[in-house]
Structure 1
Amino acid sequence: MIGRIEAFIRKLRRGLSRSEWLARLLRLPRSAGPATEPGLVLIQIDGLAHSQLSHGLKQGGMPFLQRLIKRERYRLHPQYAGIPSTTAAVQAELFYGIKAAVPGFNFMERASGKLVRMFEPEITALVESKLEKYGAEPLLKGGSAYVDNYTGGAAEAHFCPNALGWGPSLRESSPLVFVLLIISNAHSFVRTAALLVLETMLALVDCIRGLIDGHDLIAELKFVPTRVVIAILLRELAVIGVKIDIARGLPIIHLNFLGYDEQAHRRGPSSEFAHWTLKGIDDAIARIWRAAQRSAHRHYDVWIYSDHGQQYALPYHQVHGRSLAEAVAELCTRQLNEPVTVQSNGPWGIQLHRVQFLGGKKIQRLLPVRNNSQAEVESPQLTVAALGPVAMIYRNGELASKTRAELARDLVEDAGIPLVLIKDAPNRARAWTEAGEFMLPEDSIQILGADHPFLEEASQDLIKLCHHPEAGEFIACGWRADGPAYTFAIEHGAHGGISPEETTAFALLPNDAPLPLPTRQRGYLRTADLRQAALHLLGRTESRMAQVRQWQGSVGEVLRIMTYNVHSCIGMDGQPSPERIARVIACHRPDVVALQELDVGRARTGGIDQVRRIAASLEMNFHFHPARYIGEGRYGNAVLSRLPMRLIKAAALPRLSKRPELESRGALWVEIEFNGMEIQVINTHLGLSPRERQMQVQALLGAAWLQHPSCRSPAVLCGDFNARPSSAICRQLRQRLQDAQLELSRYRPRSTFFGRFPTARLDYIFIDSGIEVLNVEVPRAELSRLASDHLPLIVEMRIPARTHLSRSDRVNTPESAGLAKGNG
């Protein structure tokens, strides 16, 4: 009854949802798939290094992300961004599977000889057309993209260089729809307006501070609209759009938050103003996550990651009194004994330009797009593309090998550039630093430092960068392992280079995310791993089997046992989903799982063999005992495990002969081999009548079950007992066994029923006296509260090594061998 009320409330909430109404008003298409299909929302926090996120979490600046880690079983992974550490390169790897698709954020397109930046529509369209031609399947196919470099194959893209503004749906709507849109989202628009006013005031305060510190007035004034437009307006519009897409059930949605990256470029990655933007991003993620949990059209995962980090850097021209282009021109003139014509970027950073391009024609009229070339130069002899800590230096015409080496050395010694590289033989590169000349990959430690977290992979990527067809003949890097870092733009936070801060991004993922096996061996992710996991989650890998959730089992004497009444896998939203139950189990990584109320072949839950579906998803063996036969279907209990397991007994429990209307009940006894021991595990689900439960407990404590000669210690009895701790049967059971929730010191036993608002303790794990309880969990994450009307109970226990196998040839019996082959 309570479950039906909960489902009605959720349905009513969806009916009143602003996102649902907006989707209807704009006549946007909806997902045609079943409501149990997986969906994925990928949220990118642009430019946020793993270390800066960790600092923000520790300081309490991102409370919702902290909640995801502590309560929702999310795990923080370090992620290697690759070289170049830029959004354009990382998103190409994520969306199309191609690493280092571009040599940097700013480079010279050799076909035209023009300097290009990877937020300009023409160049991003050109690069993406090549990605579509040579890359793998677009990740965002059928979904949507917000504030990205590329569309990623998305059916709908917004605020991307190739898809400016909100999109055709809003532009083609009638004035009435537009008015209704504003009315229905009045709260969001008022919120956005208030935030815009607040952020403008903060931006002006920051501007005054910048002037006091000696910064340029014009540059500071231009930074005000950047803060406001990107940190607030663009963020809020994108969040509204993502929530609409969730309400429609799009299969995959990708959103990029630019606010932190913009602030970090200007003030530095650890500055207060950069971290201030993380508070707003954290709140925006919370709103998206809640919308995803309420979706009636898909089971959404929400993954949060960053594309790269930022390194605090000093502007090169401020330190050396001239720009990099001027330094290069002077050296080349001296080297070649003739004047050298140079085209280059000016020293400006990327602030304001992304606002201009992403904002569409109206913003561009308000803030004209400036050509960053210092001068229009016809047939330049040198081109310098420098918009960050990595500069590409192009030479029109070949240089002799000796001349190239001498110029590279002079760039280090005379121009003060920390590192200069040129390509050498295939899979090799030459490098110069203050310490001398080196060769990659042999001398990677001298270039990157012995403590670089991705030493081998970064060395290989650096070599590939030197050989990139669009890279310059010389690559100048502003970072060094033992000194201050330089950037070739006016900024204090830089990325695109090779430093640990720039290359160490992060991925915040649910504990059961289907990551490839090599990531667990490496200890960190690469963007390609994130792509592979996303495709697997969405069922777009070659083998479209049920989602496999992988983990390592317990080690030593510690065993984790879960008991879980899954309510026929029907959640609090009224939707049956064995996959959701599998996710709850996988998030908590038990070694043994005792499940009650499973349907096998029953029409009410789609005729699915629920236990086989869950076991296959978890890669576990199982045994199933049907307590009831209903037509062609069955209903009962199961035990699942990856440990060696054999069935001892599966039988019905006593019933009241005068109450034939009561459900038949049963128990399932398996023997688990763990750490050289045989552990007896009995799973049961008792009746609703007190007299019936009394009979059933007496049977379980008797000679047929716990007192049977084969039921040697250690033994575990678990399941749904439909009784409170103070009941007669619980008191009787505690005379023979220990209630695990009462054995942990300074622990308050927790209720497991009703799932959304648990008020009763009906699920138990009873253990032998020799077993030590180490930890007890009753998860109250959103997924756990949604998946069933009960919460799972997990007990982590230490079992002393005292009961050893009596025969060395003890193996799995035929009925329990193999993946997801059960007795039933």
Structure 2
Amino acid sequence: MDIASGLVETARWARDVRSLQHEPKFLFHRVLTECLFAEFAANSCVIDIARGTPIVYACFIGYDEYAHRRGPSSRMALLKLWELDRMLGRIVAAVNALPELGYELYLFSDHGQTATRPAELILGESIGEHLLADGRTAGSDPVAFGGAGGGDAAAVAAQARWFRRVASVLPGPLGKAALAWARHVAKTLDAAQPYHADGPLLVVPAGDIAHVYSTRVPYPLREPELRARHPGLLERCARSPAIGFTLVRGESGPLALRGDRRLELHRPQDALELAHQVGHPLAAVYARDLLRMRSSGDLILLGCAAPCGETVAYPFEFGSHGGLAPDQLDTFMIHPQELGEGAFASLVRPQDLHRFFLERSGRLPRELPLGAREEATCAS
């Protein structure tokens, strides 16, 4: 039954959005992983509670996957929340049935979800094509091969664009086939893929955020060197209708670029402007955290507050997290009433939550190594 309903829903969705991207994997995930593994996780929690296991932890990822593929407020995602509520009810009942074991129950999220629109539906091409191809792109001036892309990546981007143009003039199934091949070619511009095109720049889309790396040096580039090595790239990003802000490491501190605006995030008034544009009071704090991480891109693209008027996802998805949009930065924590309302007021980053549970369980907090502390500073 689940397989049949999944096939019907997938066919309807593909017809509406005119794309089968991610659908085979999503169908497999929803039928096998979610139907079986979620029930297994809930039942395992109940069994562990009955056994008196000191600490029981489970992660229910179903809503996250459904929100990515259909949107956080879609019917499918909300139905998944209803199913999760039923499973959590069994766990709560198991805790309440054994009060002598003294279990404390915590229910929390590590992030929220924001409704997004794929960059491809706004630009008419993937973010890789948009940044790495030669010639004019939506909202920006032409950038030469040697400036923004170059190497195999630029050639692949040009090839994908050519197939998209062919798809636009071919009728019916032929046009769909050409578009599918264009998307297949463009997929190799995603540096997160096992096999990707090489070039002076690598683009890693991740929800409504994308990291762009220069392959010419092994260290994070600052703005002047980035402009010298890749002329025109920052201008293309800053003027793109699918990019809200471009974060880059400046000579005197972190920068956020948007159109002709240049926000120096160490200045309170500029940090306040970023927070106002994004719609979250901690936006500048998290932006600075991102740029402080050596593993972050030489420039970071934010899909929130994009000029197109929507939050943009750089992969082909309709719900995202990982960026700075307000909905995804809002988390929740349901905890025992006796802890009081301010129990988590001072917790800002993941390592703070880890330390809280170590202390609550009677274990001494383990000091994080220096490298781990640096990587853990990003709250998302």
Q: TM-score band (shorter)?
A: 0.7 to 0.9
CA distance in 1, matches of 2:283, 2:277: 12
Any idea what the Cα deviations from partners look like across 1:349-369, whole Å, max 9, x if unmatched?
Answer: xxxxxxxxxxxxxxxxxxxxx
Any idea what the Cα deviations from partners look like across 1:582-614, whole Å, max 9, x if unmatched?
Answer: xxxxxxxxxxxxxxxxxxxxxxxxxxxxxxxxx
Query: 1:493: which partner in 2?
Result: 319
Partner of residue 151 from structure 2, selected from 340, 346, 370 = 340
Partner of residue 431 from structure 1, selected from 256, 259, 274 = 256
Pair 1:535-2:358 in alignment = yes
Structure 2 counterpart of 1:436, which letter? R
Query: 1:386: which partner in 2?
Result: 205
CA distance in 2, matches of 1:377, 1:225: 28
Query: Any residues of structure 2 matched to 1:754-769 within 5 Å, and which?
Result: none
Point out the structure with max Rg over C-alpha.
1
* Residues 192, 204 of structure 2: 8 Å contact kept: no
Query: Any residues of structure 2 matched to 1:743-782 within 5 Å, and which?
Result: none
Any idea what the Cα deviations from partners look like across 1:600-631, whole Å, max 9, x if unmatched?
Answer: xxxxxxxxxxxxxxxxxxxxxxxxxxxxxxxx
Query: Any residues of structure 2 matched to 1:538-577 within 5 Å, and which?
Result: 538-540=361-363
- The verdict on how the C-alpha distance between 1:511 and 1:246 changes in structure 2, with shifts beyond 3 A counting, is same
CA RMSD of aligned residues (A): 3.3
Structure 2 counterpart of 1:342, which letter? A
- The verdict on how the C-alpha distance between 1:260 and 1:372 changes in structure 2, with shifts beyond 3 A counting, is same
* Residues 243, 288 of structure 1: 8 Å contact kept: yes
Query: What secondary structure does 1:385 align onto?
Result: strand
Query: Any residues of structure 2 matched to 1:301-700 within 5 Å, and which?
Result: 301-330=104-133, 333-334=144-145, 336=147, 339-342=150-153, 373=193, 375-377=195-197, 380-397=199-216, 400=225, 402-403=227-228, 406-414=232-240, 416-425=242-251, 428-434=253-259, 436-442=261-267, 443-449=270-276, 452-453=279-280, 455=281, 457-480=282-305, 483-513=309-339, 519=345, 527-540=350-363
CA distance in 1, matches of 2:64, 2:105: 21
Query: 1:766: which partner in 2?
Result: none
Query: What secondary structure does 2:331 align onto?
Result: strand
TM-score normalised over the length of structure 1: 0.35
* Residues 238, 260 of structure 2: 8 Å contact kept: no
**Kindly, what percent of the aligned residue pairs are identical?**
27
Structure 1 counterpart of 2:299, which letter? F
Query: 2:98: which partner in 1?
Result: 295
Partner of residue 16 from structure 2, selected from 188, 199, 213 = 213
- The verdict on how the C-alpha distance between 1:297 and 1:425 changes in structure 2, with shifts beyond 3 A counting, is farther
CA distance in 1, matches of 2:149, 2:71: 40
Query: What secondary structure does 1:278 align onto?
Result: helix
Structure 1 counterpart of 2:284, which letter? S
Query: 1:609: which partner in 2?
Result: none
CA distance in 2, matches of 1:330, 1:494: 26
- The verdict on how the C-alpha distance between 1:472 and 1:444 changes in structure 2, with shifts beyond 3 A counting, is same
* Residues 278, 324 of structure 2: 8 Å contact kept: no
More helix by share: 2
Unaligned regions of 5+ residues in structure 1, if any?
A: 1-196, 347-370, 543-824
- The verdict on how the C-alpha distance between 1:527 and 1:516 changes in structure 2, with shifts beyond 3 A counting, is farther
- The verdict on how the C-alpha distance between 1:377 and 1:207 changes in structure 2, with shifts beyond 3 A counting, is closer
* Residues 293, 299 of structure 1: 8 Å contact kept: no
Query: What secondary structure does 2:72 align onto?
Result: coil
- The verdict on how the C-alpha distance between 1:468 and 1:372 changes in structure 2, with shifts beyond 3 A counting, is closer
Structure 2 counterpart of 1:231, which letter? E
Any idea what the Cα deviations from partners look like across 1:414-472, whole Å, max 9, x if unmatched?
Answer: 5742211111247x21111135221113212332326834x2x4312211211311111
Any idea what the Cα deviations from partners look like across 1:361-393, whole Å, max 9, x if unmatched?
Answer: xxxxxxxxxx96385445x32111113111111
Partner of residue 40 from structure 2, selected from 214, 237, 251 = 237
Aligned length: 314
CA distance in 2, matches of 1:423, 1:211: 40
Query: What secondary structure does 1:318 align onto?
Result: helix
Structure 1 counterpart of 2:215, which letter? N
- The verdict on how the C-alpha distance between 1:416 and 1:277 changes in structure 2, with shifts beyond 3 A counting, is closer
Structure 1 counterpart of 2:144, which letter? T
Unaligned regions of 5+ residues in structure 2, if any?
A: 135-142, 161-190, 366-380
Query: What secondary structure does 1:449 align onto?
Result: helix
* Residues 265, 492 of structure 1: 8 Å contact kept: yes
